[in-house]
């Protein structure tokens, strides 16, 4: 059965299985049924050698006496046949756990590819980075205490940190039971990110499972109810702590070992699969088998695995087969290297004979009652030939903490044997990267002993990026990887193509790829060459996606690199891109201009938080980069449908906003003027945007609430005037402009170096000027322009210092006039005062001077009102279409996004409708009504104007939030009011077809009841109702008032009482409670909201002319002459932005990088000083002390053993000397030496 066929059987996922999805399994997966009864000699003919009773075999085979007579040994391949499996699906462990596990009964000769595909595709199990197969520890053998600790603290912890599969027996006995409990406990204690990393798979013989009949269902079980008794003794029930079970059927019943062959083949198959997502890893999945205790029948499986180069780890001291192998490999191998006497051939034969004798001696020692000793010795000798693949672990001496290192070394040794060309360090790095064990890589491989080249680490870097391993990315970058050489545009495209298909970004990119392919004219041959849409993905789709997410605040990304710079037409861009893709694709070999920024965008689009934060730490322009990441995440959050992913995106966006806030706070503490330049500097990395503009688009309220940002906005707001100037002085000066030349208003002093002593200018100011000039007002713009024009005229002083000559100054009268009128606060106050006059004029026209249609009207004041509105419309058009450098489409989109712009549009539209209608007699009153409503809209516009006020601004925000509560309240009120109104109307009046009276009495009258207006005379028959009424249906149809029906008057009174109780007590108090909650919730953050909205008001009036409507028409004429006729460029076209030269930009970025280093250093100290980090360091120190203590004990044990050997050697030498002296063979000329005894030894 091929994998392709298995995949075609149905889709799978992580959710619950569906019966129709797995209905194909019985036709693919088989079970085994014994077809030949081979009598078991020890059962008196009642049992077959397969373990089944005679009655369970088919009658045909029971009558086959000839075959039964000649068959003496039962074999599954010969004496059993296949049949469609009847046990698969999900199992629920009744009374133990509500979690469902997957199970499948399959024949022992099922291809491992089929089982692996079912587990990963149909059952949705994640592909492993490591497979740990635990064998032994079942049956009669008992698991020792230290083995349990090794399994719990060593093996399971290593599996959890690497994302491994653990293969075991899956039954509630021996090692398998302790493994399941250890995985369960670790999953409970671990974080949510680690819950799905470790997958436990039980591979057990079908015939050994207790109560297996509960799993049988020919159509599949979804789920099967499986009862497990709650007892502490070992049993052959399935363990509920396993995620999946492969129940291998060889036709036998109650026999062990039937799954060994299938398990070995599955391990070998997995070891040839690639790690990583979509098999994108740099190596095959490592498989390591672990032997705990064990029985002699396991030797055959162990030998089979070793011949397929599967490494084994033997736990010495665990008992059984593990002790035998460790004894043979450690002692026999040491003895076999001794030289043999005699000739070479005789020595070799003697060595082999001696080796077999030594092995047989140890087999007899560990398994004295084994009947077939020679076969057992042959298996051990065969295993001995592959001793390089076997590692011995002494758990009692080494401890469970070293287990992960032992695993790594065992796999490295096996990898060296598999691939001869690769070095040990390379293989070890592959394994450490696959396991995501950066601690092992840092302590074993990147200690300085190995010189890693940049090109050697590029493949590993790609693996770490694709599989989201930020610690390894950091490690490679710190140890020689050159990011400039690594990240080419082609490699960046490959990274985007590797995005998971479950990610939102993948869907968005594929959507834009489909748009490009549908728009481009591509031949059929070219389409057939593409393996998939993902492989055809280019940076053009990435650029389109970023343009959609970031909007118009940035220039498009990667356009210049693709050769599409300057092309605004989408059709032309796609046409040129198609031509480039059909040629050599030379752009793919180019370096990425901003590698860290590109990697940050790539990580943010996938919501890889830790990776994105590391890229942010490595790049320049930290404040703007953090705000850009925040903007991307919040835009993606709007498109994300999954709740958990959306929540994580919101948290990551909030984290980046906090980073931007804290980073700018560090810069502001260092230098106020430089931090202001940082906020306004245009960034080439981020498409010409600024920090202020990006923060506004990213809805970064916390960032805007920073004192430094607010200080900059306040300075821009006041211009050249002192911020302490009182408002009444400005108002008086507005009406009496010559007062600006007096001391009524104080202005900021321009800090410039003294012309006579230029050398004595403060160094700090010179350094600030080297960075840039902070633009607060129109006067600042003029001063910077004058400095730039005279930058060439530099004269040296007597000391040799270059001095920049001071710019030419305007007359005091002109300069002071511009300083007052070009401040945004002046324009604001002028607009506010004139807007109040506009509202007074509008109200006067509506109430007093609203003349009939022409020729009697309109009046002169109404014509003035029309002209006033005309100037307002002209300013709206100018502000929308003639400020900035965006396209018309971008301007319209930006205008439509603002709520107050929509309010302006409604107000202007209503005014135009009212103006047109009031000119005609037939529609005169409709026009008057439209103008009355329009007056309300214009009046509500005052809310936006006063949003700049420090006290009113937060309250306006609270009112806006409460409006949402009002709508919810009105919904409940409308439901209850309609229910009461219809019932009340039906009970009081039996017949009333008048629609006007019905609407009033069903909706309007119950609404007035809330405020105490209750017509008791009409509703209560106990009161006299002095109204002329009738009961005649004809008169009622003609419009007369119907008489009330008094039959159900008591019910009307009860309904009125209930209605008033619900509305006046319940609903009104509910509304008050909602208002209180909203006020309390918003009040804490209202200051942030106000500071955020304040930026919009300041930006609006910063770009407005100094005159207010209707006098603004003069400013419009002036601007028209200046821009269109004289061709003078606008000095405010780039509002809140400043462009720096390359040298100044470099210096500013250096300063910001230094502040970021200080910030990260302070954060690191804070983190290291936390209690959690202190406890972690203390735990590491204690572990180190315990490890050293264990090493000291080991050294002491070895010294004692050495002393014992020395005493033995000393005694032997004494005996030899004495024997020689007594034999008389040697005649000594001197007396024998005497042994000197030290006093310390005598005392002892």
Bridge partners, 199 (sequence order)? 165
Residue listed under structure tokens 């203590």: 1189
Identify the DSSP state of 119. I
Q: Which residues contact 841 (CB under 8 A, 6 or more apart)?
A: 861, 864, 865, 868
Q: What is the 3-state secondary structure (H, E, C) of 201-249?
A: EEEEEHHHCCCHHHHCCCCCEEEEEEECCCCCCCCCCECCCCCEEEEEE
| Residues 1220, 1226, 1227: CA angle, nearest 5 degrees | 120
Helix/strand/coil for 537: coil
Residue listed under structure tokens 């850009």: 628
As a whole number of angstroms, the distance between CA 199 and CA 191 comes to 16
Closest-CA residue to 119 (of 269, 225, 286)? 269
Residue 705, Cβ density class (10 Å: 0-12 exposed, 13-18 middle, ≥19 buried): middle
Phi, psi of 1030 (to 5 degrees): -145, 155
Q: Which residues contact 968 (CB under 8 A, 6 or more apart)?
A: 1074
As a whole number of angstroms, the distance between CA 1102 and CA 1125 comes to 24
Beta pairing, strands 199-205 & 221-227:
unpaired
As a whole number of angstroms, the distance between CA 523 and CA 520 comes to 10
Bridge partners, 1030 (sequence order)? 1042
Q: Give residue 227's pLDDT.
A: 84
Helix/strand/coil for 57: coil
Q: Mutual orientation of helices 1086-1102 and 952-988 as an angle, nearest 10°?
A: 110
Helices and strands: H and E segment counts in the chain: 57, 14
User: Is 167:301 a contact under the CB 8 Å cutoff?
Assistant: no
User: Is 262:203 a contact under the CB 8 Å cutoff?
Assistant: yes
As a whole number of angstroms, the distance between CA 103 and CA 245 comes to 4
Identify the DSSP state of 90. E
Q: Give the residue ranges of DSSP H helices in 370-469.
A: 373-384, 395-398, 403-418, 424-435, 438-444, 454-466
- The pair of three-digit structure tokens given for residue 512, joined into one six-digit string: 């834009």
The DSSP secondary structure of 321-388, one letter per residue, reads HHHHHHHIIIIIHHHHTSPPSS-HHHHHHHHHHHHHHHHHHHHHHH-TT-S-HHHHHHHHHHHHTTGG
As a whole number of angstroms, the distance between CA 210 and CA 254 comes to 9
CA distances to 175, 313, 366, 392, 393 from 291, in Å: 10, 6, 16, 10, 10
Q: Give residue 266's pLDDT.
A: 92
As a whole number of angstroms, the distance between CA 428 and CA 413 comes to 9
Residue listed under structure tokens 């109560």: 211
As a whole number of angstroms, the distance between CA 551 and CA 697 comes to 9
Closest-CA residue to 550 (of 662, 443, 627, 492)? 627
User: Is 317:394 a contact under the CB 8 Å cutoff?
Assistant: yes
As a whole number of angstroms, the distance between CA 309 and CA 289 comes to 11
User: Is 1063:973 a contact under the CB 8 Å cutoff?
Assistant: yes
User: Is 380:374 a contact under the CB 8 Å cutoff?
Assistant: no
| Residues 168, 171, 176: CA angle, nearest 5 degrees | 45
As a whole number of angstroms, the distance between CA 155 and CA 602 comes to 35
Q: Give residue 11's pLDDT.
A: 36
As a whole number of angstroms, the distance between CA 1101 and CA 1234 comes to 110
As a whole number of angstroms, the distance between CA 19 and CA 10 comes to 10
Phi, psi of 1103 (to 5 degrees): -95, -5
How many C-beta neighbours within 10 Å does residue 276 have? 19
User: Is 869:876 a contact under the CB 8 Å cutoff?
Assistant: no
Q: Give residue 422's pLDDT.
A: 59
CA distances to 72, 597, 825, 987 from 1048, in Å: 99, 77, 68, 6
Closest-CA residue to 1094 (of 1225, 957, 1186, 961)? 957
Identify the DSSP state of 582. H
Residue 135, Cβ density class (10 Å: 0-12 exposed, 13-18 middle, ≥19 buried): buried
As a whole number of angstroms, the distance between CA 264 and CA 1134 comes to 71
| Residues 632, 634, 637: CA angle, nearest 5 degrees | 110
Mean pLDDT (10-residue bins), the chain, 1244 residues: 40 38 80 83 77 71 50 79 88 77 90 90 85 79 76 74 82 84 74 60 90 86 82 79 90 84 90 71 80 85 86 86 86 52 50 79 84 84 87 72 72 69 73 79 80 85 91 91 91 91 91 83 44 62 92 85 80 82 78 93 95 94 95 94 91 96 95 92 91 92 92 88 89 90 81 37 40 45 48 42 50 85 90 94 94 89 95 90 74 80 92 94 93 94 80 80 86 90 88 86 89 81 77 84 83 90 90 88 80 85 88 89 79 70 91 93 84 79 78 82 87 83 66 54 44
Closest-CA residue to 284 (of 267, 265, 299)? 267
């Amino acid at each position: 059965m091929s994998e392709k066929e298995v995949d075609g059987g149905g889709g799978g996922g992580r959710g619950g299985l569906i019966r129709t999805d797995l209905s194909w399994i019985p036709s693919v997966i088989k079970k085994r049924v014994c077809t030949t009864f081979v009598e078991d000699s020890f059962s008196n003919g009642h049992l077959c050698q397969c373990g089944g009773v005679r009655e369970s075999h088919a009658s045909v085979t029971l009558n086959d006496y000839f075959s039964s007579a000649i068959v003496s040994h039962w074999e599954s391949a010969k004496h059993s046949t296949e049949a469609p499996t009847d046990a698969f699906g999900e199992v629920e462990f009744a009374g133990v756990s509500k979690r469902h596990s997957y199970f499948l009964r399959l024949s022992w000769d099922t291809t491992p590819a089929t089982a692996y595909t079912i587990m990963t595709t149909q059952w949705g199990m994640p592909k492993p980075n490591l497979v740990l197969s635990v064998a032994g520890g079942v049956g009669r053998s008992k698991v020792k205490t230290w083995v349990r600790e090794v399994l719990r603290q060593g093996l399971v912890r290593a599996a959890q940190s690497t994302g491994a599969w653990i293969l075991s027996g899956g039954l509630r006995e021996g090692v398998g039971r302790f493994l399941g409990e250890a995985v369960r406990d670790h999953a409970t204690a671990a974080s949510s990110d680690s819950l799905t990393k470790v997958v436990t798979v039980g591979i057990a013989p079908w015939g050994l499972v207790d109560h297996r009949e509960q799993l049988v269902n020919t159509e599949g079980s979804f789920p099967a109810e499986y009862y497990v008794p709650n007892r502490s003794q070992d049993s052959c029930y399935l363990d509920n702590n396993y995620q999946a079970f492969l129940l291998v059927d060889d036709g036998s019943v109650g026999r062990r070992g039937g799954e060994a062959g299938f398990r070995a083949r599955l391990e070998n198959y997995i070891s040839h699969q690639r790690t990583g997502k979509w098999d994108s890893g740099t190596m095959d999945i490592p498989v390591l088998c672990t032997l705990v205790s064990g029985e002699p029948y396991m030797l055959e499986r162990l030998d089979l695995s070793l011949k397929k180069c599967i490494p084994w780890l033997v736990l010495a001291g665990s008992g059984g087969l593990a002790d035998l192998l460790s004894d043979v490999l450690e002692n026999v191998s040491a003895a076999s290297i001794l030289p043999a006497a005699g000739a070479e051939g005789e020595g070799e034969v003697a060595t082999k004979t001696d080796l077999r004798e030594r092995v047989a001696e140890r087999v007899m020692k560990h398994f004295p009652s084994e009947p077939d000793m020679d076969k057992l010795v042959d298996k051990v000798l065969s295993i001995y030939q592959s001793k390089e693949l076997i590692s011995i672990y002494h758990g009692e001496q080494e401890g469970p903490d070293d287990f992960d290192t032992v695993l790594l070394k065992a796999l490295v040794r096996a990898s060296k044997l598999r691939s001869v060309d690769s070095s040990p360090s390379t293989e070890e790095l592959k394994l450490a990267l696959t396991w995501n064990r950066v601690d092992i890589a840092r302590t074993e491989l990147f200690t300085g002993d190995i010189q890693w080249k940049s090109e050697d680490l590029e493949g590993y870097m790609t693996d770490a990026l694709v599989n989201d391993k930020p610690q390894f990315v950091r490690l490679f970058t710190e140890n020689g990887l050159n990011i400039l050489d690594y990240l080419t545009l082609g490699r960046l495209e490959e990274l985007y193509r590797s995005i998971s298909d479950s990610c939102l970004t993948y869907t968005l990119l594929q959507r834009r790829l489909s748009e490009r392919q549908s728009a481009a004219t591509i031949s059929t041959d070219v389409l057939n060459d593409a393996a998939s849409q993902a492989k055809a993905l280019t940076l053009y789709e990435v650029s389109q996606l970023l343009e959609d997410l970031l909007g118009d605040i940035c220039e498009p990304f990667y356009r210049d690199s693709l050769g599409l710079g300057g092309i605004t037409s989408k059709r032309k861009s796609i046409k040129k891109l198609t031509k480039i893709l059909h040629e050599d694709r030379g752009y793919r070999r180019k370096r990425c201009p901003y590698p860290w920024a590109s990697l940050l965008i790539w990580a943010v689009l996938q919501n890889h938080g830790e990776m994105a934060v590391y890229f942010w730490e490595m790049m320049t322009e930290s404040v703007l980069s953090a705000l850009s990441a925040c903007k991307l995440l919040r835009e993606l959050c709007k498109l994300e449908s999954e709740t958990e992913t959306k929540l994580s995106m919101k948290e990551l966006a909030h984290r980046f906003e906090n980073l931007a806030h804290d980073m700018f706070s560090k810069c502001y503490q260092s230098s106020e003027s430089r931090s202001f330049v940082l906020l306004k500097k245009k960034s080439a990395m981020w498409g010409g945007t600024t920090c202020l503009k990006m923060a506004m688009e990213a809805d970064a309220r916390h960032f805007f609430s920073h004192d430094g940002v607010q200080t900059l906005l306040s300075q821009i707001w006041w211009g050249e005037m002192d911020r302490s100037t009182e408002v009444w002085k400005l108002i008086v000066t507005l009406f009496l402009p010559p007062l600006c030349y007096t001391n009524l208003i104080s202005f900021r002093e321009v800090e410039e170096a003294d012309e006579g002593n230029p050398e004595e200018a403060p160094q700090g100011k010179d350094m600030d000027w080297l960075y840039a000039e902070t633009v607060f007002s129109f006067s600042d713009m003029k001063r910077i322009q004058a400095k730039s024009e005279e930058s060439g005229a530099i004269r040296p002083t007597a000391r040799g210092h270059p001095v920049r000559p001071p710019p030419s100054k305007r007359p005091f009268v002109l300069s002071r006039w511009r300083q007052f009128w070009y401040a945004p606060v002046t324009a604001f106050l002028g607009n506010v005062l004139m807007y109040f006059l506009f509202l007074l004029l509008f109200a006067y026209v509506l109430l007093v001077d609203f003349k009939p249609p022409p020729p009697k009207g309109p009046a002169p004041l109404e014509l003035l009102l029309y002209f006033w509105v005309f100037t307002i419309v002209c300013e709206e058009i100018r502000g929308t279409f003639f400020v900035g450098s965006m396209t018309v489409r971008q301007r319209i989109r930006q205008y439509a996004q603002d709520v107050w712009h929509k309010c302006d549009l409604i107000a202007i539209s209503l005014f135009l409708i009212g103006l047109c209608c009031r000119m005609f007699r037939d529609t005169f009153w409709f026009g008057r009504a439209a103008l009355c409503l329009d007056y309300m809209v214009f009046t509500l516009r005052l809310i936006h104007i006063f949003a700049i006020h420090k006290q009113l601004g937060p309250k306006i925000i609270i009112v806006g939030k409460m409006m949402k509560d009002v709508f919810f309240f009105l919904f409940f009120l409308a439901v209850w009011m309609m229910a009461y109104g219809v019932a009340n109307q039906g009970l009081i009046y039996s017949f009333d077809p008048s629609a006007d009276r019905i609407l009033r009495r069903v909706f309007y009258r119950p609404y007035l009841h809330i405020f105490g207006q209750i017509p008791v005379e009409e509703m209560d028959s106990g009161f006299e109702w002095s109204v002329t009424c009738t009961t005649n249906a004809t008169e009622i149809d003609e419009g007369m008032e119907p008489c009330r029906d008094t039959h159900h008057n008591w019910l009307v009174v009860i309904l009125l009482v209930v209605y008033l109780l619900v509305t006046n007590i319940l609903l009104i108090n509910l509304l008050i409670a909602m208002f209180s909650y909203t006020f309390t919730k918003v009040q804490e953050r209202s200051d942030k909201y106000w500071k955020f909205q304040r930026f919009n008001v300041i930006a609006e009036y910063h770009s407005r002319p100094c005159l207010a409507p209707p006098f603004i028409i003069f400013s419009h004429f002036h601007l028209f002459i200046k821009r269109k006729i004289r061709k003078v460029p606008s000095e405010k076209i780039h509002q809140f932005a400043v462009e720096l030269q390359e040298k100044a930009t470099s210096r500013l970025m250096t300063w910001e990088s230094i502040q970021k280093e200080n910030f990260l250093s302070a954060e690191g100290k804070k983190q290291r000083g936390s209690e959690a980090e202190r406890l972690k360091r203390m735990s590491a120190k204690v572990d180190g002390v315990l490890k050293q203590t264990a090493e000291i004990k080991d050294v002491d044990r070895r010294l004692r053993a050495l002393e014992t050997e020395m005493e033995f050697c000393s005694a032997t030498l004494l005996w030899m000397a004495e024997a020689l002296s007594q034999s008389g063979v040697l005649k000594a000329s001197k007396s024998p030496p005497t042994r000197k005894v030290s006093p310390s030894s005598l005392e002892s």
